[in-house]
Amino acid sequence: MNSKSDQGLDQFLFRFLENRGALLERYEGGFEALLPEALSDLLKVPEHIRIGDGADSGLNGQAFAGYGSPFLDRILEIVCGNIPLVSCRLEVDYLKSRGFDRLIGEQFRFYKFTGRIEATGTTNVHYLLLQCHYVAQSDEQKEGLVRLVLNCETGAYIPGMVEILSDPKRDFQLLPKQLGDDLRWENALAHTKVHLEEALRGEIYPFRESMRRRFRRDAANLEEYYHSLKREMEKSLEKPGLSEDLIRDRKEKTALLPEELARKRDDLFQKYSIAVRVVPSAARLIRIPVVKIIYRLSAGKSQKTLSLIYNPVTHSLDPIVCQGCGKNIRDIYFCPHLHVLCSSCHKKCPLGNGE
Ligand SMILES: [Zn+2]
Ligand SMILES: [Zn+2]
């Protein structure tokens, strides 16, 4: 039943899961995968899944059926070749020195903890401006560019910063390659995937909606077709003079129609699901003077110090990042080991007892 394009998807998924440590076993028409716990959490699927056909592989209850689920939409393949990395610095006219308490109150909510500013000081922070070419594949293909800025120290994604930096009046001074640039690049890149999903969401939204609409339209047509087919077949049984064999044969065929419809609907599901591939095409490390704020939080005997960064380009504090999933967070929770977590990672800290 697998068409050529489905096999392409199979291979794509196979490589994706293989690269992330899944144990895989092929069988005719698909494969089974045993995922590491972290990966199954990330993709929100069971640890034991089945991709492709093979309803008879004996994995009832654990089977993962169909491509058109959010599962595939979540997958991003990031392919990094050797792209030129340019280093530069950006001067700013003015660095704010007061009013950080208000900004902290506006931007963050610390669950159960209260905080106060212990110290502030100016320093330089590197940001990565990353430009990527993306290809979203479904029944049709959409491609384009997506650009985003990350704080190289924390891995936070800074929404809105690309637009401000694109202002031609911004004066970047090129720097020779700096010590530590490679590390900064790697650290930022390690955080890129989770943020790319967010940066791409708006970009791909119309495409995704169009695929969804077409799926719904085709599925409705398909159902209509099968309903009228069923009506016709039932009606033909009312004709006088049919042999018993013919009647039995037609009844059997009619009984098989719902199953056939379900299969065709699955095919449509696969046809309109979306896989996204992202290839970075340009990168720039930008050194910017910032204000670092040492912020001390406490709840009873628990104490935690965070270092926050005031970003003079966006005129706001850089987002705080969840240590569990790497997403930007507004509502900040702490586990008993004082890891900085989002509300969903807080339910079960993914970092366990260690760092
Ligand atoms: Zn999290
Ligand atoms: Zn923890």
Residue 72 confidence (pLDDT): 46
Amino acid at residue number 6: D
**Is the CB of residue 276 less than 8 Å from the CB of residue 204?**
yes
Name which of 149, 223, 147, 238 is nearest 188 in CA terms.
149
Position 69 pLDDT exceeds 80: no
Mean pLDDT of 45-60: 58
Residue 116 confidence (pLDDT): 96
Residue 48 confidence (pLDDT): 83
Position 247 pLDDT exceeds 50: yes
Residue 81 confidence (pLDDT): 57
Distance 285 CA to ligand 1 centre (A): 26
Please report the ipTM that was assigned to this predicted complex.
0.97
Distance 82 CA to ligand 1 centre (A): 30
State the ligand closest to the CA atom of 324: 1
**Mean of all residue pLDDT scores within the chain:** 84
Residue 295, strand partner residues: 117, 306
- As a whole number of angstroms, the distance between CA 72 and CA 61 comes to 20
Q: pLDDT digits over 15-27, tens only?
A: 777 777 788 888 7
Least confident of 191-200, 203-212, 315-324: 191-200
Mean pLDDT of 239-267: 89
Q: At what angle do helices 244-271 and 192-236 cross, to 10 degrees?
A: 160
Distance 253 CA to ligand 2 centre (A): 59
Position 223 pLDDT exceeds 90: yes
Distance 342 CA to ligand 2 centre (A): 11
Mean pLDDT of 275-291: 89
Q: Where does the pLDDT of residue 319 fall: very low under 50, low under 70, confident under 90, or very high at 90 and above?
A: very high
- As a whole number of angstroms, the distance between CA 34 and CA 250 comes to 43
Residue 168 confidence (pLDDT): 80
Distance 158 CA to ligand 1 centre (A): 17
Mean pLDDT of 179-206: 84
Please give the share of the chain, as a percent, with pLDDT higher than 90: 44
| Number of neighbouring beta carbons within 10 Å of residue 107 | 14
State the ligand closest to the CA atom of 334: 2
Residue 276 confidence (pLDDT): 84
Q: How far is CA 234 from CA 224, 239, 248, 250, 251, in A?
A: 15, 10, 12, 8, 8
Q: Which residues of 62-86 are buried (b: 16+ CB within 10 A; e: fewer)?
A: ebbebbbeebbbebbbeeeeeeebb
**CA atoms within 13 Å, Cβ hemisphere of 25:** 6
- Where does the chain have alpha helices with state H? 4-19, 37-43, 70-74, 100-107, 161-165, 181-190, 192-236, 244-271, 343-347
Q: Structural domain boundaries of the chain?
A: 4-65, 85-192+276-347, 205-255+265-273
Distance 338 CA to ligand 2 centre (A): 6
Distance 333 CA to ligand 2 centre (A): 10
Position 64 pLDDT exceeds 70: no
Distance 333 CA to ligand 1 centre (A): 10
